[in-house]
Amino acid sequence: DTGVSQDPRHKITKRGQNVTFRCDPISEHNRLYWYRQTLGQGPEFLTYFQNEAQLEKSRLLSDRFSAERPKGSFSTLEIQRTEQGDSAMYLCASSQGGPQHFGDGTRLSIL
């Protein structure tokens, strides 16, 4: 499978803990995006990278959120001091300037 890969698929954690998600994009894609999706809603943009440069961040991305793409390949999204409202599906997508292709997401549940 050469699509976008996300790990883990599910994460359950206690409020206040830190979590980190990983995304491996389609190999030839230089753009990588993070979105968040809650039940019944469309995905909401969080941030995106072109190669290793983070070019845009949404106002949704509070100080507790940080994303990296150190070598321009895989990316990580970290949430510090998780809150109940962070419960959502975190989706990663990649593109080479055309349509964005999504992974199957990481579902985060905060206890």
67 vs 70: CA distance, rounded Å? 10
Stretch that binds other proteins, among 12-20, 66-74, 75-83, 96-104 (CB under 8 A): 96-104
Binders in 21-80 for other proteins, by CB under 8 A: 31, 33, 35, 40-45, 48, 55-56, 58
Tell me which residue has tokens 């949430």: 79
31 vs 52: CA distance, rounded Å? 9
105 contributes a contact to other proteins by CB under 8 A: yes
Given a contact cutoff of 8 angstroms between Cβ atoms, the answer to whether 90 and 110 are in contact is no
> Given the rule CB under 8 A, which residues bind other proteins?
4, 31, 33, 35, 40-45, 48, 55-56, 58, 91, 93, 98-105
